[in-house]
Amino acid sequence: MKVIRDMQEWRALRKKLVGSVGFVPTMGALHAGHASLLERSVARERITVLSIYVNPTQFNDAKDLAAYPDTLEDDLQLAEQLGVDFVILPTYGDMYADGFRFQVEENQLSRSLCGADRPGHFTGVLTIVMKLLNLVAPDRAYFGKKDYQQYTLIRDMCETFFMNVEIVGCETVRELDGLAMSSRNKLLDAETRSRVAVFYDVLSSASSDKAAILALENFGFKVDYVETIGQRRFGAIVVGPQSEKVRLIDNVVIEAARGPGRSFLQGDKNTTTVSAG
């Protein structure tokens, strides 16, 4: 495995790579969810590239950015064990030489759910993902469906801008008690961690969004939203003591419940091909 910090070196090297390239973009603090994306890529592609870059433009809260876990040594060890070929570690200077002058903005889906509480968040995500996809030029890029809204927006962006990449959506990996794997789980104190498993249970079993909100509030969580769109119920809660608030998101497929349909979140397939050729 080669770790590359110099993006000029990477771009020169990329031109020489032969065979399919799979890409997993991350912000580090790797967990079993990331591992499953990397495993999928390693199994399918000739070459797998992992990027680790904590993207400041997608954080609308400076405290949240400062608290983001940094576990680079462990991340590199895991990547090596999983058979990753290249890890790229770009800097702010590499990714934002333009000072964020150019941005990718979506004006519908990005304003709802997580976007309603985090203005500018998805503009930061879409802008960095477009830059990373151009930098890596993969055949396929792998994203987790825990961040389903993000996955949908990226898939649609690639289709809209005729990008030659296939966006592969991968199922959410969960802890034994149902909690979705997330880098933010590392920030939970033991007491909070033991209580948050109910988030998944409530989203899966509540008879309505309103019932889910009430149940989560009764458990002492601040609920940002619970909303069912089509057959998928989305939720975001804020947990933990005042000084160490952590925001968790999740989504589940609800067979029985049906919220108002929204075309851009429907047509859920495990893999969506957006390649032009």
Catalytic sites, residue numbers: 34
Which part of the chain contacts ligand PAF (CB under 6 A), choosing from 24-32, 69-77, 97-105, 193-201? 24-32
User: Cβ contacts of residue 81 below 8 Å, gap of 6+?
Assistant: none
**Under the criterion CB under 6 A, does residue 170 sit at the interface with ligand PAF?**
no
Which stretch, 22-30, 90-98, 160-168, 260-268, contacts ligand PAF (CB under 6 A)? 22-30
Residue 128 CB, nearest distance to ligand PAF (Å)? 5
The least distance separating ligand PAF from the CB of residue 138, rounded to whole angstroms, comes to 13
Q: Out of 21, 129, 170, 213, which residue is the one contacting ligand PAF (CB under 6 A)? A: 129
The only residue of 104, 125, 203, 246 in contact with ligand PAF, by rule CB under 6 A? 125
Residue with tokens 């590239």: 49
CA distance 60 to 54: 13
Of 55, 127, 182, 272, the one binding ligand PAF (CB under 6 A) is: 55
Looking at beta carbons, which pairs linking 70-78 to residues 24 or more positions away fall under 8 Å?
A: 70/28, 70/29, 71/28, 71/29, 71/30, 71/186, 72/28, 74/30, 75/28, 75/29, 75/30, 76/1, 76/3, 78/30, 78/35
Pick 129 or 229: Cβ nearer ligand PAF:
129
CB 251 within 8 A of CB 152: no
Span from 21-29, 93-101, 133-141, 225-233 in contact with ligand PAF (CB under 6 A): 21-29
Following DSSP, what letter does each residue of 50-114 receive, concatenated?
EEE---GGG-S-HHHHHHS---HHHHHHHHHHHT--EEE---HHHHTTTTT-S----SSGGGSTH
Please pick, from the candidates 10, 21, 25, 165, the single residue that binds ligand PAF as defined by CB under 6 A. Answer: 25
169 is a site residue for ligand PAF (CB under 6 A): no
| Residue 244: DSSP 8-state | G
Of the candidate residues 14, 21, 23, 27, the single one contacting ligand PAF (CB under 6 A): 27
**Minimum distance between the CB of residue 55 and ligand PAF, rounded to whole angstroms?**
4
Taking CB under 6 A as the criterion, which residues in 60-119 touch ligand PAF?
none
Beta bridge partners of residue 223, listed in sequence order: 237
147 counts as binding ligand PAF under rule CB under 6 A: yes
The Cα 58–Cα 56 span in angstroms is: 6
**Which residue, 55 or 185, is less far from ligand PAF as judged by CB?**
55
- In angstroms, the CA 97 to CA 167 distance is 26
**By CB under 6 A, residue 128 contacts ligand PAF:** yes
Q: What's the rounded Cα separation, in Å, for the pair 116 and 120?
A: 9
Is residue 26 close enough to count as binding ligand PAF by CB under 6 A?
A: yes
Q: How many residues bind ligand PAF (CB under 6 A)?
A: 10
Helix (H) or strand (E) holding 7: helix 7-16
Residues that bind ligand PAF (CB under 6 A): 25-27, 55, 58, 125, 128-129, 147, 150
